[in-house]
């Protein structure tokens, strides 16, 4: 990712294919495709996705498509980000502590930052997290703590979490993660190898409830840090 130094307000607001007008078209599309939360839609409108992706692809930032972010990783398509965020919130307006596995370029972290009191974000690739952290700090997102580590372990220091969101796919739901959910907390996670589905696990007073949602395609969740 590019070193922006100071990021001007103009650059954040965007112009032409990164302008509010272009973003509004994306938001209209997300609404048509079933994203119902006004809060999530507003965040999709106001979060400058064009600053999070690889150089030279800014003009595609508000297309509903996944894009490369370097280190062989991708930022999810906006529809999936919006849907996962909506599933994480469920009927709740605002969350306390949220754990994110897979900081990547930091775009999802930026969205979560506005919906939670505190975000904890783990990424296994050091450079990606370094860049994400710098950008998010420059943009003024302050309530995010970062760890370069292996998300399979979760982050026990700050558990339990009201929400855990995973943006890389393991072949099975990691038991260590559901143990770190608060009662009423939700885990949103893509699961599978060649074929993946989005799952939601909710911790209840007596155990866990699991629901399967749409088919998705995420990069694999890998063991260990890099
Ligand atoms: N939410 C990100 C999506 C990044 S892609 C965004 O908005 O850009 C998924 C990320 O998960 C990759 O950066 C990948 O390195 C990371 N990842 C994969 N396995 C992981 C693990 N075990 N622990 C932490 N991060 C992991």
Residue 1: per-residue pLDDT: 47
Q: Mutation test of ligand 1: which of 1, 48, 66, 102 has the most ligand atoms closer than 8 Å to its C-beta?
A: 102
Residue 225: per-residue pLDDT: 82
Q: Answer yes or no: is the C-beta of 75 below 6 A from any ligand 1 atom.
A: yes
pLDDT tens digit at each of 226 positions of the chain:
445 567 889 989 998 888 999 999 999 999 999 999 999 999 999 999 999 998 789 999 999 999 999 888 999 999 999 999 999 999 898 999 999 999 999 999 999 999 999 999 999 999 999 999 999 999 999 999 999 999 999 999 999 999 999 999 999 999 999 999 999 999 999 999 999 999 999 999 999 999 999 999 999 999 988 8
Residue 55: per-residue pLDDT: 79
The atom number, within ligand 1, closest to the CA of 100 reads 1
Return d(Cα 91, Cα 77) in angstroms, integer: 23
- Span from the CA of 205 to the centroid of ligand 1 (angstroms): 30
- Span from the CA of 124 to the centroid of ligand 1 (angstroms): 7
Q: Mutation test of ligand 1: which of 78, 104, 165 has the most ligand atoms closer than 8 Å to its C-beta?
A: 104
Beta strand 67-70 pairing with 73-75? antiparallel
Question: Edge to edge, what strands does the sheet with 116-123 contain?
Answer: 144-148, 116-123, 95-101, 161-166, 181-192, 196-203, 208-216
The atom number, within ligand 1, closest to the CA of 107 reads 7
DSSP state of 54: P
Coil/strand/helix, residue 178: helix
Q: Answer yes or no: is the C-beta of 153 below 6 A from any ligand 1 atom.
A: no
- Span from the CA of 37 to the centroid of ligand 1 (angstroms): 25
Coil/strand/helix, residue 14: coil
Q: Answer yes or no: is the C-beta of 123 below 6 A from any ligand 1 atom.
A: yes
């Amino acid at each position: 990712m590019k070193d922006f130094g100071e990021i001007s307000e103009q650059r954040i607001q965007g112009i032409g294919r990164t302008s509010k007008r272009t973003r509004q078209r994306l938001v209209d599309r997300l609404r048509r495709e079933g994203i119902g939360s006004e809060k999530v839609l507003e965040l999709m409108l106001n979060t400058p996705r064009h600053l999070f992706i690889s150089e030279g692809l800014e003009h595609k930032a508000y297309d509903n498509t996944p894009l490369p972010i370097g280190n062989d990783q991708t930022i999810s398509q906006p529809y999936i980000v919006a849907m996962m965020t909506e599933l994480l919130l469920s009927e709740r307006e605002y969350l306390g502590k949220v754990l994110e596995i897979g900081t990547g370029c930091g775009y999802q972290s930026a969205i979560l930052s506005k919906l939670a009191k505190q975000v904890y974000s783990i990424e296994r690739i050091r450079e990606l997290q370094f860049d994400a952290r710098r950008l998010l700090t420059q943009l003024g997102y302050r309530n995010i703590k970062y760890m370069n580590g292996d998300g399979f372990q979760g982050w026990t220091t700050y558990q339990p979490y009201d929400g855990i969101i995973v943006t890389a796919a393991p072949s099975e739901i990691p038991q260590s993660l559901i143990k770190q959910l608060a009662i009423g907390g939700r885990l949103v996670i893509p699961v599978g190898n060649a074929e993946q589905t989005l799952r939601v696990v909710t911790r209840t007073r007596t155990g866990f409830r699991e629901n399967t949602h749409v088919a998705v395609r995420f990069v694999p969740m890998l063991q260990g840090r890099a």
